[in-house]
Chains A and B, each alone.
Chain A
Amino acid sequence: MSTAANPETKPAPPPVETVRIKVDGRDIDVPKMMPDWQGKLQPTTMLQACSLAGAEVPHYCYHPKLPIAGNCRMCLVEFGTPMMGPDRKPVLNPDGSSKIAKSVLPYEPGTPRGAIACATPISPGMEIYPGSTATRQMREAVLESLLINHPLDCPICDQAGECKLQEYSVEHGQATSRFVETKVHKPKQVDLGPRIMLDDERCILCTRCIRFTKDLVGDDALGIVNRGSYNTIASFPGRTFDNNYTLNTVDLCPVGALTSKDFRFQMRVWFMKETKSVCTSCATGCNIVIGSREDRVYRYEPRQNDVVNASWMCDAGRLNYKWIGRDDRLAAVRSSRTGARSWPAVLSEIAQTLRSAPRGSVAVIASARQTNEELYLVRKLATHLGAMTDSVPREGEGDRFLVNEDKNPNTNGARLTGIAFTEMGIQIPKIAQAIRSGQVQTLIVIGEDVTQHGIDSETLAKVSTLIVSDILPNETTRRAHFLLPGCAHAEKRGTFVNGKGRLQRFLKAVEPSGEARPEWEFLKELVEQVVGPTGYTTIEGLFNQMAKDVPAFAGLEWAGIADLGVNLAI
């Protein structure tokens, strides 16, 4: 991988100041300062230091991307600091090491006093004991407290399988309960907003949801009502919890209190396959995990990528998956000329048509929702045929958080592969004109209903050969002479370049419906039949060849993109 294409590989930064501490008896040097939730350098916390030492400290309210609350107390750890003499100098052991004064309750010196690891900064010589008996006892006690009023309804809870209460119960819980009192009862099935359902009895009041929507989204919509053990999360009276980021609180909720109305009761999480992918709803390209089972997509969840979407995604993007499983998906390949209904027959018929088309008589409109690899293959065809090309611009509303105004996921890819120009769509009126003038006889459309975007049905009727690939039926597909059913991104592999020039790859989660095939596969066969041999058979080979041909991808390899993508030097 070239360093030019990856600005994250910068010259080594100046050495960081470190502090020597001990974690469970082992010396470790940790940075004195580390990034806080906003990325600002702050004194390193015990929790961060323990994590660097490989000792994970359990926690509920702490989240690296949220302001610290310190309320769950699960991360309490026993610790000690170097003992100071009356002369303010460290007291030494006979072997010359610092004597450690363990932190104890001031009024009960025999009892260890824990500190919350999430908010307590380290100091030189500090010793942290995340594995000690006292630490374990504190965790067990906190967990016991969290569970006494919890309904323990795991069998019907959507969070089961990805629940921090369950996970920590296995590690720190007790098999039986001492609690013999009546549990506190709170509202269940609280309709917080159009996409969120709340079960207050399951809630552990960690306030992650409150902090997220207040401090990150800027919508101070949630709060706590009542007092003490009766505390209850609620939206402000007369307001519903309805912004474009509400579903992130479902991810953030460490227990089953906040559930997605879309996902609840749909699928047990342990049955689902998780596939790393990218959201296609706008040019931000939020990294996602697709949850699927038996070729059905059940949910999208954000996947952490700090240079793109941190740990979040918008509700609109998250719920924009249902079309993948629609019943009216295009599932059959066909030629309306010969009635051919197999991929080899239809592709060779198309190849024949293209081979005999006079130079300049073909035009291509390929969507900026197609992958770089597909657009690269389209470009190869177009160059060979001397065809005009363009993509369809797709502008909408953006916001200051994640949503981009550009609703195409791969606008930059369409530009870099040479399909579209800086001003996307500028060629479409010219293509329409060329069709009307008879200059263009053959139109190839990949993934767009051009009748909605500048080439009306009347104009479309004038072309003698209309080759269309798409996923769902529309006016353009209905008029196609050759119809090539394609794939949703969840059904194939490929790469996009997001609005900020980051190349990101996504993997296949589910099988396409019917005869539909990934577009790059049949485009590659078409290129081989029309232009000549390509020399690769896999998406990896295709990408690596594209990287050789397209300057913006120079030096890249499929394997080097990895899960989080790379910034392009554009």
Chain B
Amino acid sequence: MPQEYRLILKHADQAGYTPDIECYLRHGGYEALRKALALGVKELPDGKKMTAQEQIRDEVLKSGLRGRGGAGFSCGLKWSFVDRKSGKPIYLICNADESEPGTFKDRQILHKDPHQLIEGMIISCFANDVKLAYIYIRGEMPEGARLLNKALKEARAKGFLGKNILGTGVDIEIHVHRGAGAYICGEETGLIESLEGKRAYPRIKPPYFPAILGLYMCPTIVNNVETLAAVRHIVSMGASEYAKLGTANNTGTRIVSLSGQVKRPGYFEVEVGKVTLGELIYHENFGGGLREGRTLKAIIPGGSSSKVLKAGEVFKVKKKGEDGQWVPVDMNLLDLPYDFDSLQQAGSMSGSGAIIVMDDSVDIVGVLANLGEFYAHESCGQCTPCREGSLWMSKALHRLTHGHGRKEDANYLLHIAQNIQGRTICAFGEACAWPVLSFVKKFKDEFEARGAADEANAAQGSHAANAVASHKV
């Protein structure tokens, strides 16, 4: 029976569990940090030596942990790109700017178990020789910022943070920085600019890869809240045990944010790939199905910028056969395992783990108009295609939802979106183009029908107006 597997949120919702350090310590808190700091130099069979830091980095790589922010990139690989020979300080930034519409997972950690994140960060700092780290938290989460600051203070008082951590001579400091309310600050280089006190204009890559030229032009690691929290568990349970959770290449657990027209919206921590989209929506352990008399229309599987999937769609997905070979099989939308690779093969992505469910009561044109307005409002405006295209699409969608549509608007929208994706400085281009491309392509009949109806109304109106005018003559 599909069910939750609570690793990161193990204690979060237990009665009496509080976000203070005493409670965290009672539940085994900071033991992973002690373990990490106690690691000595390891002699390898070939005579080479591995420092404690290298061992942790190796564990994270072997655990198969993939970034939980959206792109799903291997965390261990990301760490391996860091320029460790530049002589400059290395920074770690926790991206707590959770803003992807539909996503509400990081805030569970921030609000209910902040020490777990802090422990994961201290371990990650230690593993990467980071002396100074920042938590960039969304401006709209003042309570999270308050709790984090309180937790950091507690950690310092207990000697887990600051100078000479637990008497080991290791110095690590973490500061909380609050954003001012912009989606683009979740883009890692935009976040870095914002942290530096500038307008959050994402940087061009090349040359500004954070691993080489990040915060203050120093090597920088930017990781999501959930990713850093997972590091704590990888160190605690060991990479091989962690990798047993989930499925091959999609290890560990993920917190899924389920919203939309299901009976039980909420967040569910599951083993990656062990639960299907259909189970997440319909199973009583999760969404509990749609409301009475409703049928499924579409799913946005990974936050609002992921491409929409239409009910009834069948995808070619590679599956491991009994002989161990990967073979492509036809798979219905609802049978897709909720993991990184399957969603990608279905032409979308699991993104930030936010599933938005839409039933047949939904006006699909209206949904896209809503998303379009969001992206037009959040485009930073730095580069041309996104700056001009996002508002252009939004204006066209506004017309379509306000009785001034045209039949050709469907292709008009595709034309605009096609000229944004892949042409911009950051992934916001894709984020604003993909909803339009997928909605319009998959529900083209509805978009065209809406436009055609408006045109018919307009023609009738002008005919009537003409009739009135000629009558007056």
A145 touches B390 (CB 8 A): no
Stretch at the interface among B56-64, B90-98, B259-267, B416-424: B416-424
Residues of B within 8 A of A229 (CB): 376, 379, 381, 387-388, 390-392
B382 touches A145 (CB 8 A): no
B interface residues, how many (CB within 8 angstroms): 35
A231 within 8 A of B: yes
A141 touches B206 (CB 8 A): no
B6 within 8 A of A: no
Residues of B within 8 A of A204 (CB): 384
Residues of A within 8 A of B380 (CB): 227-228
A557 within 8 A of B: no
Question: B381 is contacted by which of A121, A144, A228 (Cβ under 8 Å)?
Answer: A228
A142 touches B384 (CB 8 A): yes
Given contacts A116-B204, A229-B388, contact A73 B381 (CB under 8 A): no
Residues of B within 8 A of A146 (CB): 384, 388
B321 within 8 A of A: no
For B383, the closest partner residue in chain A by CB is A71
B389 within 8 A of A: yes
Complex Cα distance, B357 from A353, in Å, reads 105
The proximity string for A residues 168-200 relative to B, scoring 1 for CB distances below 8 Å and 0 otherwise, is 000000000011111010000000000000000
The proximity string for A residues 508-527 relative to B, scoring 1 for CB distances below 8 Å and 0 otherwise, is 00000000000000000000
Question: A73 is contacted by which of B199, B383, B395, B430 (Cβ under 8 Å)?
Answer: B383
The proximity string for B residues 257-282 relative to A, scoring 1 for CB distances below 8 Å and 0 otherwise, is 00000000000000000000000000
B316 within 8 A of A: no
- Report the minimum CB–CB distance from B84 to chain A (whole Å): 22
The proximity string for A residues 26-42 relative to B, scoring 1 for CB distances below 8 Å and 0 otherwise, is 00000000000000000
B199 touches A181 (CB 8 A): no
B415 within 8 A of A: yes
B28 within 8 A of A: no
Complex Cα distance, B388 from A181, in Å, reads 12
A499 within 8 A of B: no
The proximity string for B residues 187-226 relative to A, scoring 1 for CB distances below 8 Å and 0 otherwise, is 0000000000001000010110000000000000000000
A72 touches B383 (CB 8 A): yes
A interface residues, how many (CB within 8 angstroms): 42
For B415, the closest partner residue in chain A by CB is A178
For B376, the closest partner residue in chain A by CB is A228
Given contacts A119-B206, A181-B395, A228-B390, contact A71 B377 (CB under 8 A): no
Residues of A within 8 A of B383 (CB): 70-73
Complex Cα distance, B379 from A231, in Å, reads 10
- Report the minimum CB–CB distance from B207 to chain A (whole Å): 7
Question: A141 is contacted by which of B204, B378, B419 (Cβ under 8 Å)?
Answer: B419
The proximity string for B residues 356-387 relative to A, scoring 1 for CB distances below 8 Å and 0 otherwise, is 00000000000000000000111111111101
The proximity string for A residues 76-118 relative to B, scoring 1 for CB distances below 8 Å and 0 otherwise, is 1000000000000000000000000000010110010110100
- Report the minimum CB–CB distance from B151 to chain A (whole Å): 32
- Between A and B, 12 residue pairs with Cβ closer than 8 Å are A71-B384, A73-B383, A114-B423, A142-B419, A180-B406, A205-B382, A227-B182, A228-B377, A229-B387, A229-B390, A229-B392, A230-B381
Binding site for A on B (CB under 8 A): 182, 199, 204, 206-207, 347, 376-385, 387-392, 395-396, 399, 406, 412, 415, 419, 421-425, 430
Known: A145-B385, A227-B377. 10 other contacts (CB 8 A): A70-B425, A108-B421, A145-B388, A145-B389, A145-B419, A179-B392, A181-B395, A184-B391, A227-B379, A229-B376
